[in-house]
Structure 1
Amino acid sequence: MAARRDVYGAGRDLYLNVSAMNGGEDLSLPHMSSYDRSRPVFIQYLNPEVLACYGLSCRGVHSERILRASLQITRLAVLLTDTSLIFPASYIFEVPCFSEFLREISPLVSSGAIVCVAPVIDPDAYRELKAEEYRRDAVNPYSSKAMREMERSIAWQPRLGSSSADIGVLWESAFEKDGDFSGLVESVSARWTGRQDEIEELLHSVPQRLDGQAVVGRFIQQVIPVELSARESSRINMMLSRSYLLSYLRDLRANMLVDFDHSDLSCGMLPERDGFRFSLLSARKFDLALQWVGIHAYVHGAATWHHLISLRSMPEFGELTLALFAHNARVSLRSAVVRSRRINELEDAVDLAQAQRNVGTVASQLC
């Protein structure tokens, strides 16, 4: 137990001293930075735990819907960065439709626009590491799956941070007044036959009691000797997913798409509370802007992955997204579209050339 507490303490110290790792920036302080296209986009919209928080599953009845929605979201994500889309290596093992997803976006994979992140660079070593974390799972997703050639061909990037350590720190702070777990001790205590201080200590020590297992809701229930209610489980799962996302976004200095037609998938992240130095980008807002510019149907239909790369490579397209999402934009995209329509009707694009003309026309009105 002492050794596990030392690991927890190290994670806490790393989190509290994160400014030393980021050129003096204190990422724990509330701050909302402007949208920056040089940041990658983190793919959270296929994450099983995040989806479960919204009643969705990448298995069974929702699997095809999630796959198709994810492919459309990826079209937007490609357009919102000048670098890459990043996903955790866990998707290869835990997301049943992920092999098909990669096949559908194979041009992005081959061009290096998709990057896999993991704590170790060797895929087999990663699988062994995660198999230990899921050793008590009824069906260990890491026990037998062999990686396919396409999965091995993806660019891998090491991640130096630890989600488990970061979640451990945020777990403790969640019990503070007005925290995510405010009132949780009292709620669980109502069904606990022992003293309240016993269940309080037990709940606070959950990250250590997991003994190296993955910090996910079903494992947490196994170390709490009281059946959690649906509401209690929901609060815990949402907090875990938000902490997980924050950990990745901070480590990777990434942006993230949220606010989709089928669900929000932000897990309640708020700039004023979570200390952003990255941007949450509304998919609905971006889709509306693409309609204004007359390229929505093209982006979601006829455009190939290579066409989307060509479109985002236009400096004018970058200007459009900055006008839409950057807080210091000189002219809003809405105003630029209105000006464009006064001088030139924007026709709905059917090919890349027309899409580029529309983008250039609107961008010329941003000056």
Structure 2
Amino acid sequence: MRYAIVTETYPPEVNGVALTVQGLERGLRARGHEVSLVRPRQDGEEAANDDRELRVRGLGLPRYPGLKFGLPATSALRSRWSDNPPDAIYVATEGPLGWSALRAARRLGVPAATGFHTRFDEYMRNYGFPFLQGTALRWMRRFHNSAQATLVPTQELAEFLRSHRFDNVVRLARAVDPSRFDARKRDAALRAAWGAGEDTLVAIYVGRIAPEKNLELAVRAFREIQKNRADARFVWVGDGPARAKLAEENPDFVFCGVQRGEELARHFASGDLFLFPSHSETFGNVTLEAMASGVPAVAFDYGAAREHLRDGVHGAAVADDEGFIAAAVRIAGDDALRRAMSAAGREAMQLLHPEQVASDFDALLAHLARTRRQHASAAPA
């Protein structure tokens, strides 16, 4: 089969959407399919237009250095797909490039699936524009309903979208590679660089350092932890528009910047407690990565936490801010409990298989392609 994947974000950018899309692309290639990737050019990259990849023009995303969105490219995509169209396309993002891909696919009769990765309606509230939440949700519904399927990572999100008149919503599970994220990658030298000994409690956050992540709650929780463990350290892995202010207000925090590949795995495994205070994730891959790394997680009871984190066994899945703080303090103060949670989390992640996710994704795209061919053959001449 020939598939095309269109995305506004892709590595070397580091975020959950980029890494998820890369995993899906690699999964399809490993299954023997031809995959054409369409994405914006990154700074310093040359243009590319071959069977494997088309890089289009893009612009920087305001307030997010290093991230791009693709400019409209309907004509370029129609030209690329006209002579030898893909059997199906996957559009991962709702930006101008994503809209262009859906328009081109519709005009060429190519079936499309979209991915619902980001709660832009929640972002409106976090950035001070709550009155635009309804507008953002309607805009996303129009985008996703122009495709033949909308892929979501959890049943909870699927039910939410269906209740808001999103059509053809399909759950595609997520997985984490336990050979990549592994507790054995814990590094004493790295911890020492953070000012932490073997018995020092290290809280860790991994992700975008941005207002929509509700980071003040993580700070409050850590300050409560310090009342009982004065030598505790808080390590931040990632970057974003809130980093400078957070560092200025908390000079004792350790900021490690963006980490990739083996370095990211080493940083994860070298922590003791993962604090993930976000309310706006569609899933939260980092929760699974923490569990696979043997680091108990404290997160809100939705997305990845609701799907995979058993409260009191792998960490804590909480309902409100006070519950988040209480769970963080309780787990931080009980070394034996953390060791038990670490082992249980690692064991649970061994049951997830990225290969199965690729197989399910392949089956869904193949179904769209078969359905479109059947409709075409049944149509009157």
| TM-score past 0.5 threshold | no
Between Structure 1 and Structure 2, the one with more strand by share is: 2
Between Structure 1 and Structure 2, the one with more helix by share is: 1
TM-score in terms of structure 2 length: 0.31
TM-score in terms of structure 1 length: 0.32
Q: Which structure has the higher relative contact order (CA within 8 Å, separation 6+)?
A: 1
